[in-house]
A and B are shown apart, each in its own frame.
Chain A
Amino acid sequence: MEISWIQAAILGLFACLASMPGLGGTSIGNYTLGRPLIGGLVCGIVLGDLRAGILVGCAMQIVYIALVTPGGTVSADVRAVSYIGIPLAMVALKSYGLDADTTEGSALATSFGTMVGTLGTVLFYGTATINLAWQHIGWKAVEKRQYKKLYLVDMGLPWISHLACSFIPTLVMCKLGASVVDAIKTALPMDGIAMKTLFTVGALLPCVGIAILLKQIVKSAADFIPFLFGFVLAASLGINLVSATVVAGMFAIIIYRIKMLSVRKPELAGGIDDEEEEI
């Protein structure tokens, strides 16, 4: 599978829009186009294999299901995951003759994507650093009271940062990728230790993604119960995700009502106390 210059360029453009801090804005860019699932849709359409794109996107989405960037620190770069990692993983799957819908297929995709995503953090820091130059122009404009220039600084000039840190890296990596994948394939046979490890890592990595999310929710051991409850719903009872969400919603409502009762308790409790005293 070969990626043409035009295809690579389109992916490059999406990388500009999708990154954090991207030119699509956070809601449309980072949180929509940057999510690997959506990246999979875009890559699937651009590369002409929608099914494989979506499947690879799904596999990688689990690893990055909770990509929180507190205070602007990142552990992976979404543009690299979604627009370099996914196309390369699709190429690799084709080249190895694996179907993306198999465990091996998604393990390979996950390893590839995570590797690229971690290396891609350099792109994040690159973009942010170049933006400093535009902000310098911005402060000058504020001093001179040329406020209209702020729009150019905030929404125009960063395109140059992205040309250097999103467009060109994506273009080059997608073009070179196919030959790199072939080289890896000849160097590392599938039944060798290296590939076995790579595939095993691919199966283990999603655990980190889920664990990052749990870090937000779980403060004490008891907080694991909702998580395990959901796990049991799917693993033991075979309930699908949409249905599990409805069940979860039911519990959420119950908790909310109970909590709100205790918020209003001072007023209510006041009335009850009086009656008790009379008895």
Chain B
Amino acid sequence: MEKKLSKKALLKSFHNWYYGHLTCFSQEHMQTFGYLCAMLPLVEELYQDEDEKANAMNTYTAFFNTEPQLGTVIVGMTAGLEEARANGADDVDDETINSLRAGLMGPVAGIGDSLVVGTVIPILLGIALGMSTGGSPLGAIFYIIVWNLFAYFGMRFLYFKGYRLGGKAVDFLIGAQGEALRESVSTLGGIVIGAVAATWVSVKTSLQLFNEEGEAYLTLQDKLDEVFPGLLTAVVIVVCWFLMAKKKMSPIKVMLLLVVVALVGVLVGFFDPQLVY
């Protein structure tokens, strides 16, 4: 009789992945144990024989790490493959499963990091920040609800898509449609981040030049804002981008550099937070 994974086992597998993919993280094995836990309910349902079980579980001891939200699709695909193997498909063995996993985890991590962590989350946070202006908890609550619904149902969708469609499930992500989606989402992200920067980041100079009567004839900040409102903020951001993207400096080094810039700026009077008790 043909073996078919029950909905219950699939859901248990999905929930094990949803929760446990990174709970036991180490630099050496990363998501490997999460993956083992996700496969266990499936293996237990598909195989009765202890040797077969061991054989199947051993497949998933290979190193695994990807972007966990989008990576759910890979777990779903292996669920489908494992089912095929249990039914005696000749072309599915350890090697096919593991080369699929190894081949996909890199690209999926790249797409996932820029799409989920680099775009969706910042956009949601940007909106949430706008709603929390003045100390209102509304934005935080909005983020908690929207992100978690999106993450749970999105991942669940990907898992079952992967299970049903197998290899076809990733065509959507890696193919031309995925490319179009990525491009439009990153434009959306760019615009929102620009608005976030203009709303929440504020770099100001206190530099003033005085004439002989002691009146300020040049207030640099006002002049800069006449050219382009928030010019100084935008310039500092672009410089930080340049240092990290083009000069390959690490964020921590850039932060340390900013400490030096701030110190020098304060000493020459370019920056002055004008603190008073």
Interface residues on chain B, size class: 35 or more
> In chain B between 200 and 254, which residues have their CB closer than 8 angstroms to a CB of chain A?
200-204, 228-230, 233-234, 236-238, 240-241, 243-245, 250-252, 254
> In chain B between 91 and 126, which residues have their CB closer than 8 angstroms to a CB of chain A?
109, 113-114, 117-119, 121-123, 125-126
Chain B minimum-CB-distance residue to A254: B184
Contact at B187–A226, with CB atoms within 8 Å? yes
A231 is contacted by which of B21, B188, B230, B272 (Cβ under 8 Å)? Answer: B230
Residues of B within 8 A of A32 (CB): 143-144, 147-148
> In chain B between 177 and 192, which residues have their CB closer than 8 angstroms to a CB of chain A?
177, 179-181, 183-192
B198 is contacted by which of A193, A235, A252 (Cβ under 8 Å)? Answer: A235
Contact at A215–B151, with CB atoms within 8 Å? no
B33 is contacted by which of A135, A224, A236 (Cβ under 8 Å)? Answer: A135
Interface size on A, residues (CB 8 A): 117
Contact at A54–B132, with CB atoms within 8 Å? yes
Contact at B68–A26, with CB atoms within 8 Å? yes
Cα-based distance from A103 to B131 in the complex (angstroms): 18
Residues of A within 8 A of B200 (CB): 58, 62, 206
Given known A155-B19, A206-B201, A216-B119, contact A263–B180 (CB-CB < 8 A): yes
Residues of A within 8 A of B275 (CB): 104, 190-191, 195-196, 199
> In chain A between 12 and 66, which residues have their CB closer than 8 angstroms to a CB of chain B?
20-23, 25-28, 30-32, 35, 37-38, 40-41, 44, 50-52, 54-55, 57-58, 61-62, 65-66
Given known A107-B273, A259-B184, contact A244–B192 (CB-CB < 8 A): yes
* A142, A191, A217, most chain B CB atoms within 10 A: A217
Is A122 in the interface zone, CB < 8 Å from B?
no
Residues of B within 8 A of A180 (CB): none
Is B259 in the interface zone, CB < 8 Å from A?
yes
Contact at A97–B184, with CB atoms within 8 Å? no
Residues of B within 8 A of A218 (CB): 190, 241, 245
Q: B3-11, B160-168, B263-271: which one contacts chain A?
A: B263-271
B184 is contacted by which of A62, A207, A253 (Cβ under 8 Å)? Answer: A253
> In chain B between 10 and 64, which residues have their CB closer than 8 angstroms to a CB of chain A?
18-30, 32-34, 36-37, 40, 43-44, 50, 53-54, 57-58, 61
Contact at B277–A252, with CB atoms within 8 Å? no
Given known A145-B50, A230-B192, contact A197–B119 (CB-CB < 8 A): no
Given known A31-B151, A66-B118, A200-B265, contact A21–B144 (CB-CB < 8 A): no
Is B152 in the interface zone, CB < 8 Å from A?
yes
Residues of B within 8 A of A61 (CB): 125, 129
Chain B minimum-CB-distance residue to A144: B54
Residues of A within 8 A of B88 (CB): none
Residues of A within 8 A of B265 (CB): 200
Cα-based distance from A215 to B187 in the complex (angstroms): 13
Contact at A241–B196, with CB atoms within 8 Å? yes
Is A272 in the interface zone, CB < 8 Å from B?
no
Cα-based distance from A129 to B27 in the complex (angstroms): 8
Give the Cβ gap from B73 to chain A, nearest Cβ, in Å. 15
Residues of A within 8 A of B121 (CB): 31, 35, 66
Cα-based distance from A40 to B240 in the complex (angstroms): 26
Contact at B258–A71, with CB atoms within 8 Å? no
Contact at A145–B53, with CB atoms within 8 Å? yes
* B28, B69, B140, B277, most chain A CB atoms within 10 A: B140
11 contacts across the A-B interface (CB closer than 8 A): A31-B121, A37-B143, A52-B135, A58-B129, A190-B277, A203-B201, A206-B201, A208-B255, A226-B190, A229-B191, A255-B184
Write the residues of chain A forming the contact surface with B, with a CB cutoff of 8 angstroms: 20-23, 25-28, 30-32, 35, 37-38, 40-41, 44, 50-52, 54-55, 57-58, 61-62, 65-72, 75, 97, 100-101, 103-104, 107, 114, 118, 125, 127-129, 131-132, 134-135, 138-139, 142, 145, 147, 150-151, 153-155, 157-158, 190-191, 193, 195-197, 199-201, 203-208, 210-218, 223-224, 226-236, 239-242, 244-245, 247-249, 251-253, 255-256, 259-260, 263
Write the residues of chain B forming the contact surface with A, with a CB cutoff of 8 angstroms: 18-30, 32-34, 36-37, 40, 43-44, 50, 53-54, 57-58, 61, 65, 68-69, 109, 113-114, 117-119, 121-123, 125-137, 139-141, 143-144, 147-148, 151-152, 155, 176-177, 179-181, 183-204, 228-230, 233-234, 236-238, 240-241, 243-245, 250-252, 254-255, 258-259, 261-263, 265-267, 271-273, 275-277
| Closest 9 pairs (CB-CB, A-B) | A230-B194, A241-B130, A21-B25, A226-B190, A259-B180, A211-B240, A51-B135, A248-B191, A234-B198
